[in-house]
């Protein structure tokens, strides 16, 4: 197999891009490093494509390894011939390899193996090959028994007939071509059927109590729904297809026109299909559907997670975070504009305590003492009552201050973690949550990387996903996000440092330890003094680490140290002698000619373009171009909502059938995919992303079920 050619075709990219990327991966380079600093080699592929390329590379290499393994096993059995070798070499999937190897795989003791042990295999082969005989079948079988009494150990003609049928059934089941044809027929013509195990029991799966849909058309989220319903015991799920059509397909393949014992073989084929092939293919189809749905769900989760992590930070603001609660009280924490905790406390404005005046007095004092700019309220238990209390409180404060209700998903997971205990050893769990709620508004990326991505709440059926696949995909998303933004080397926690290209948890801890013992890093080169951080790790990580305090402004950009020389030559060619004039670099470079400069300073045009972009604005944060979070001063309740109201909201989660939008009422509304836009879209993510600020119209409110239906159509701009 030409792996390079196959990947290039599947990803619709050039073969040189694949070849060069594979070389870079094999040399131990990380995907973020390859994506950012080796653009000339791979033709400026983005990190998503590079990760997909790496995934396909691993699959195809595993496929090649499996082919060699099967060839070796067949060779040891003495059955590997040129035909089998060609079939194995042509196989494109692991399932095809399994089909080819199936007849030769050591089997547990089956009805067919027992019949073979009784000496019936030669007879079964003669019949299955449809070699003509000059007598009725039963007479021929009896003659075979009589002629081979020394090797055939059956006690009756009936036992011999049943044994031969069992062997032929296994021949049919083990035939790779038959399985391929049946599988293809199932994929195109089967239906997935879901029935209730107890129709009288109400559940969230009631829509699937009597449900049928084409296997090839069923949406991923419905596959995951019926799988979960089956797992929880509410549903019985099967894959069904017209049996007669499948039997006709197999018979047409197996039977010769002048077959003398057609009826006998057809009965064996039916037995093979019912007992061996159908259950196996059904499992395969179910597994295939689940794999497809899982892959789609993980892709969607990954996309949502990246958009959430890349939300615009609320910079330069003192934030008060509140973790709402009833009986145990609302914990609050005030963080300065760098995230440092200034103050903490507990108030009891919610039931059963209802100490509103006392709570207001405490919060007012903290707000005035620390000049709080924004209050961040978690959206969990007691959030509604807490928001009402805060909205009322703000009316009595003269300063310009508002509040934001933030998604606190994962805050409790973080607060109970070893990392939180290490970061705040003197805080109880709820106080740590309050700090997290404040900080995730100040810098979502820096705070959310401390939390298991599965707990952040932007996926669909994420707890049903294979842990290894989900963890791998989400780790890649976090890595790409962290490295896209860059990390301040002198303020970053070890948790965010551990996601920087080339840096693992051990090296991240060594960096923090070095910083604590030696003070702030003065330049990037000083990284080489950190224990366990060698030249290769430095190459992988240096460009993603920022040092605002460095005397060399390039240390506060994404320009890699390997490009410092070309960057300085660029500045000389553009006549820029002072950092005050850096903003002129792009204009002057265009006048000289980018291609000419690239040849002169000996870098590729993509690298030169990145250098120019970084030099003109050192320390830039690409997230600053994104929309700011909505700061509110007045409360809106579910009961206040009326059909036709037009509101501004924030997209919280994008799933297969729509998007959930926070409109400030503590219950996200759903914009169904059919209400997103007038044109046809396959998936809501084609239009919407997590964090988007959008206008929506209320088209339905169900107060009892706490459901809000929204639309983005026909809204005046």
| Distance, CA of 111 to CA of 217 (rounded, Å) | 38
Read off the pLDDT of each residue in 609-627 and give the average, rounded to a whole number. Answer: 90
Q: How confident is the model at residue 218 (pLDDT cuts 50, 70, 90)?
A: very high
Least confident of 144-148, 267-271, 467-471, 580-584: 467-471
Choice among 180-194, 317-331, 616-630 with the minimum mean pLDDT: 616-630
Which of 57-61, 252-256, 280-284, 464-468 shows the lowest per-residue confidence on average (mean pLDDT)? 464-468
- Does 717 have pLDDT greater than 70? no
* Sequence-ordered alpha helix ranges (H) in 332-382: 356-370
- Whether the ω angle into residue 214 lies within 30 degrees of 0, i.e. cis, is no
**How much is the average pLDDT of 99-119?**
90
pLDDT at 1: 63
pLDDT in tens, 370-426: 999 999 999 888 888 999 899 999 988 888 899 998 888 888 888 888 888 988 999
Distance from C-alpha of 698 to C-alpha of 665, rounded to nearest angstrom: 12
Q: What is the pLDDT of residue 262?
A: 92
For 174-198, how does the pLDDT look when each residue is reduced to its tens digit (9 = 90+)? 999 999 999 999 999 999 999 999 9
pLDDT bracket for residue 253 (50, 70, 90): very high
As a whole number, mean pLDDT of residues 342-370 equals 95
Sheet arrangement for strand 235-240: 210-214, 191-196, 235-240
Please state, as a whole number, how many other Cβ atoms lie within 10 Å of the Cβ of residue 689.
Answer: 19
CA dist 633 and 377 (Å) reads 12
pLDDT at 636: 75
CA distances from 537 to 173, 541, 542, 545, 632 (A): 53, 6, 8, 12, 45
Q: Give the integer Cα–Cα distance in Å for 620 and 648.
A: 29
How far from 474 is each of 49, 355, 471, CA to CA, in Å? 15, 43, 5
Cα distances from 111 to residues 325, 550, 593, in angstroms, run 64, 77, 79
pLDDT, tens digit (0-9, with 9 covering 90-100), for 359-385 = 999 999 999 999 999 999 998 888 889
Give the whole-number percent of the chain exceeding pLDDT 90: 75
pLDDT reported for residue 460: 76
Sort 158 into a burial class: Cβ within 10 Å, 0-12 / 13-18 / 19+. exposed
pTM, two decimals, is 0.83
- Residue 682 burial (CB count, 10 A): 8
CA nearest 105: which of 81, 79, 124? 79
**Distance between CA 714 and CA 592 in Å, rounded?**
49
The pLDDT of 666-683, averaged and rounded, is 92
Residues 6+ apart with CB under 8 A from 482: 445, 449, 496, 499, 500, 544
Phi, psi of 684 (to 5 degrees): -55, -25
Question: Would you give the distance in Å from CA 494 to the centre of its chain?
Answer: 24
Whether the CB-CB separation of 675 and 681 falls below 8 Å is answered with no
Sign of CA dihedral 360, 362, 364, 366: negative
Residue 264 pLDDT greater than 80, yes or no: yes
> Residue 698's beta-bridge partner residues?
710
| Structure token digits, residue 533 | 């951080």
Q: Quote the DSSP letter at residue 531.
A: T
Q: For residue 260, is pLDDT > 90?
A: no
Which residue, chain included where needed, has tokens 């027929």? Answer: 185
| Mean local confidence (pLDDT), 583-595 | 94
pLDDT of the residue at 138: 92
Q: Which of 291-300, 406-415, 484-493, 558-567 has the lowest mean pLDDT?
A: 406-415
Say how far apart CA 471 and CA 467 lie, in whole Å: 6
> DSSP 3-state assignment of 273?
helix
Mean pLDDT of the chain, nearest integer: 92
* Res 569 pLDDT > 80: yes
Using alpha carbons, list the distances in angstroms from residue 381 to 258, 308, 419: 76, 22, 24
> What confidence tier does 629 reach under pLDDT thresholds 50, 70, 90?
confident
- What confidence tens digit (pLDDT) does each residue in 503-523 have? 999 999 999 999 999 999 999
């Amino acid at each position: 197999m030409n792996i390079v050619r196959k990947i290039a075709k599947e990803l619709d990219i050039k073969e040189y891009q694949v070849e060069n990327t594979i070389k870079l991966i094999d040399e131990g380079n990380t995907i973020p490093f390859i994506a950012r600093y080796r653009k000339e080699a791979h033709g400026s592929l983005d990190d998503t494509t590079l990760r997909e390329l790496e995934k396909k590379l691993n699959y195809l290499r595993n496929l090649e390894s499996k082919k060699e393994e099967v060839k070796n096993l067949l060779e040891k059995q003495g059955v590997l011939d040129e035909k089998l070798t060609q079939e194995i070499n042509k196989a494109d999937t692991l399932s095809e390899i399994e089909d080819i190897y199936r007849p030769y795989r050591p089997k547990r003791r089956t009805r067919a193996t027992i019949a073979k042990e009784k000496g019936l295999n030669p007879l079964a082969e003669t019949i299955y090959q449809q070699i003509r005989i000059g007598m009725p079948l039963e007479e021929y079988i009896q003659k075979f028994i009589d002629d081979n009494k020394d090797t055939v150990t059956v006690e009756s003609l009936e036992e011999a007939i049943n044994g031969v049928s069992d062997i032929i059934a296994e021949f049919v089941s083990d035939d790779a071509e038959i399985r391929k044809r049946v599988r293809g027929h199932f994929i195109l013509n089967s239906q997935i059927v879901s029935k209730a195990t107890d129709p009288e029991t109400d559940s969230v799966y009631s829509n699937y109590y009597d449900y049928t849909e084409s296997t090839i058309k069923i949406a991923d989220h419905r596959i995951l729904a019926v799988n979960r319903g089956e797992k929880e015991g509410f549903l019985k799920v099967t894959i069904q297809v017209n049996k007669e059509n499948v039997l006709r397909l197999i018979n047409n393949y197996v039977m010769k026109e002048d077959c003398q014992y057609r009826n006998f073989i057809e009965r064996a084929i039916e037995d093979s299909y019912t007992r061996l092939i159908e259950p196996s293919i059904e499992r395969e189809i179910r597994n295939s559907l689940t794999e497809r749905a899982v892959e789609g769900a993980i892709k969607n989760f990954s996309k949502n997670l990246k958009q959430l992590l890349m939300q615009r930070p609320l910079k330069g603001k003192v934030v008060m975070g509140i973790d709402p609660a009833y009986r145990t009280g609302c914990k609050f924490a005030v963080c300065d504009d760098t995230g440092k905790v200034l103050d903490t406390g507990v108030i009891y404005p919610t039931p059963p305590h209802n100490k509103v005046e006392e709570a207001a007095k405490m919060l007012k004092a903290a707000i005035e003492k620390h000049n709080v700019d924004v209050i961040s309220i978690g959206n969990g238990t007691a959030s509604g009552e807490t928001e009402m209390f805060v909205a009322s409180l703000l009316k009595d404060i003269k300063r310009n201050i508002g509040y934001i209700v933030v998604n606190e998903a994962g805050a409790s997971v973080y607060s109970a973690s070893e990392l939180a205990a290490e970061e705040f050893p003197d805080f109880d769990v709820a106080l740590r949550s309050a700090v997290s709620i404040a900080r995730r508004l100040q810098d979502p990326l820096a705070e959310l990387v401390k939390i298991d991505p599965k707990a952040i709440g932007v996926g669909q059926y994420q707890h049903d996903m294979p842990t290894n696949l989900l963890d791998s995909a989400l780790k890649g998303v976090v890595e790409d996000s962290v490295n896209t933004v860059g990390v301040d080397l002198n303020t970053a926690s070890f948790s965010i440092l551990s996601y920087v290209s080339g840096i693992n948890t051990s090296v991240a801890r060594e960096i923090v330890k070095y910083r604590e013992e030696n003070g702030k890093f003065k330049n990037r080169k000083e990284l080489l003094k950190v224990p366990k951080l060698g030249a290769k790790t430095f190459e992988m990580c240096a460009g993603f680490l920022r040092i605002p305090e460095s005397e060399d402004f390039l240390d506060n950009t994404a320009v890699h140290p390997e490009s410092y020389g070309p960057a300085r030559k660029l500045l000389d060619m553009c006549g820029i002698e002072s950092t005050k004039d850096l903003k002129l670099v792009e204009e002057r470079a265009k006048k000289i000619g980018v291609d000419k400069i690239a040849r002169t300073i000996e870098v590729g045009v993509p690298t030169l373009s990145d250098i120019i972009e970084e030099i003109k604005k050192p320390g830039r944060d690409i997230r600053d171009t994104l929309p700011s979070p909505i700061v509110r001063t007045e409360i809106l309740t579910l009961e206040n909502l009326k059909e036709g109201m037009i509101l501004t909201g924030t997209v919280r989660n994008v799933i297969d059938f729509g998007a959930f939008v926070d409109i400030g009422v503590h219950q996200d509304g759903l914009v169904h995919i059919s209400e997103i836009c007038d044109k046809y879209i396959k998936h809501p993510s084609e239009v919407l992303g997590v964090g988007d600020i959008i206008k929506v119209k209320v088209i339905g409110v169900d107060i009892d079920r706490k459901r809000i239906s929204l639309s983005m159509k026909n809204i005046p701009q």
